[in-house]
Structure 1
Amino acid sequence: MTQAPTQIFDRETLTARRARHNPEALFLHQLARDEAEDRLSLVNRTFTAPAVVCPFPAVWEGVLPGVKLVPDDELLALAPGAHDVVIHAMGLHWANDPVGQLIQCRRALREDGLLLVLTLGGQTLHQLRAAMAEAEAAVLGGLSPRVAPMGEIRDLGGLLQRAGFALPVADVVPLTAEYRDLTHLIHDLRAMGETNAMAQRLKRPVPRSLFQLADHIYRTHFATAEGRLPATFELVCLTGWTPSDTQQKPLRPGSAKMRLADALKVPEGKLDP
């Protein structure tokens, strides 16, 4: 029997919090769309059957002609082999089974179809994570899950290979936003629908002093010269292709037809180490 994936996130709570979002606060999602459009413009291909998996479809309307918009549910509403490009946008960092999400995308793609993933990476909100951890240890005597775990770029790139994609590429677009204080940052995260929805989160009220101390720690360690609080958002971009016989393949070890010395036109044994 296949074991169900660990429920790291409370999807019901996540859905409720996303429903209260403010469309004007979705600057990260708009950045993700801009990145997607830039990257697709560099691909020498016309896509005719696109799909976007996303939590806020209004951001992605019209990104490609005839695009199908589907929610980032645990089970994706994508038909097998129906698409030549799938964009998985700003939802993978909330997935209980990220590999399963990518496998579903691969099944929805045709041969030599493109997957483009945009998700938040491991350095996202590292300042907030550090400040809250230190404050909780001092006020509550322990730690609780407050900032969702997010994958590092190396690990996220590996997910593409595990899901069966060819020619995987991963890179990062860093962004730093600045806030007046911790309350301002938390208000913005709430407006994005990105506040804590971890299944094991602390569900009882905490003293106001916890957040006051966290604000002080944040300022002490990270404040800018102008006294504002920087918050890092790391946008990770992943691309992969469904396997095809027409794709370029890496050469097998030992299959080169020319020695390196000959290619560089230097005498044998004169190559610099």
Structure 2
Amino acid sequence: MTVFDRRAVRRHRDRAAASVQDVADILHDAAERLLDRLDDISRRFTRALDVGGRGVVAPMLRARGIETICCDLSPAMAARAGAPAVAADEEFLPFAPGSFDLVVASLSLHWVNDLPGTLIQLRMALKPDGVLLASLPALGTLAELRRALTAAEAEITGGASPRVSPFPDLRDCAGLLQRAGFALPVADAEDIRLLYADPLALLRDLRAAGETNAVALRNRRIPPRALFPAALAALPQTDGRIPATLRLAMLTGWAPAPTQPQPLKRGSARISLADALRGDA
């Protein structure tokens, strides 16, 4: 099923390569929260793949002493990470099985049509017992802007078209990892709350990051002139500022390996669940 226009995604990222530095602080914060999970893993990684890190993630990995290759749908954005870097479609990755012991995808998989298929390819690119760290905008991200745009467009035109990307529910994310064959899948959420003095700055930041609308069923006509002023005026305010919420689903999964903990065979328990709940064990 085609949800996103991948050509539009590439165009947006090509254009954003010249402006993404304007939102580097936000991208760095999100990447740092994701990479903090490496500190809880008692092993050393030697070769990593940075998927769509927009020139932010690769330097952070290299600063940890990890050899890092970057890939991005946009050649211009891939080049921001420094060599070695390749232009590659996340849905058709060119890497051989077992090429990496770490894959990091920070805010880069939410424009993929076949997310389970992409996760399978990333798992195959990992060595046994390799780790995937990924973050995705989850349901609740930009909820304020979505509601304001929908209400304003319904008021002006009598209908509404998708103007903010659909995001997955956090509850589904661990299931996606499991479906893709990852062992020990974990999904948790972190919120980044931004405040804007100028509501137009929120739209400028989305454009600078390459996050403008690429939904395949988007309305491609020029929007009514009154739409965005009406929507921005309706946004809620906190102490005179416009809030924008980024709800990040943080995903951790391991490529299967014989050395990993394995569940006991069914029926092998020596204590019944009823006894354990009663505290008799």
Give the TM-score taking structure 2 as reference length. Answer: 0.85
Q: What residue number does 2:8 align with?
A: 13
Larger Rg: 1
Matched, 1:248 2:261: yes
Q: Contact between 1:70 and 1:77, CA under 8 Å: does it hold in 2? A: no
Cα separation, 1, equivalents of 2:27 and 2:94: 21
- Residue by residue, what CA displacement relative to the aligned partner does 1:109-153 show, whole Å, maximum 9, x if unpaired? 111111111121111100100110011111011111100001011
Matched, 1:216 2:233: yes
Amino acid at match of 1:229: I
CA RMSD of aligned residues (A): 2.2
Q: What residue number does 1:30 align with?
A: 28
| Residues 1:106 and 1:123: Cα distance change in structure 2 (over 3 Å) | same
Selected match of 2:136 from 98, 116, 119: 119
Amino acid at match of 2:252: T
How far 1:200 sits from its partner (Å)? 1.5
How far 1:258 sits from its partner (Å)? 4.0
Q: What residue number does 2:242 align with?
A: 229
Cα separation, 1, equivalents of 2:274 and 2:113: 50
Q: Detail structure 1 runs of 4+ shifted over 6 Å in the superposition.
A: 260-265
Cα separation, 2, equivalents of 1:267 and 1:56: 55
How far 1:207 sits from its partner (Å)? 2.3
| Residues 1:256 and 1:199: Cα distance change in structure 2 (over 3 Å) | same
Cα separation, 1, equivalents of 2:150 and 2:192: 23
Selected match of 2:120 from 83, 103, 119: 103
| Residues 1:253 and 1:174: Cα distance change in structure 2 (over 3 Å) | same
State the identity as a percent.
44
Cα separation, 2, equivalents of 1:47 and 1:117: 16
Q: What residue number does 1:191 align with?
A: 208
Selected match of 2:61 from 55, 60, 63: 63
Matched, 1:40 2:54: no
Q: What residue number does 1:271 align with?
A: none
| Residues 1:61 and 1:79: Cα distance change in structure 2 (over 3 Å) | farther
How far 1:174 sits from its partner (Å)? 0.4
Q: Contact between 1:176 and 1:232, CA under 8 Å: does it hold in 2? A: yes
Q: Contact between 2:28 and 2:56, CA under 8 Å: does it hold in 1? A: no
Cα separation, 2, equivalents of 1:79 and 1:61: 23
* DSSP 3-state at the match of 2:201: helix
Amino acid at match of 2:195: E
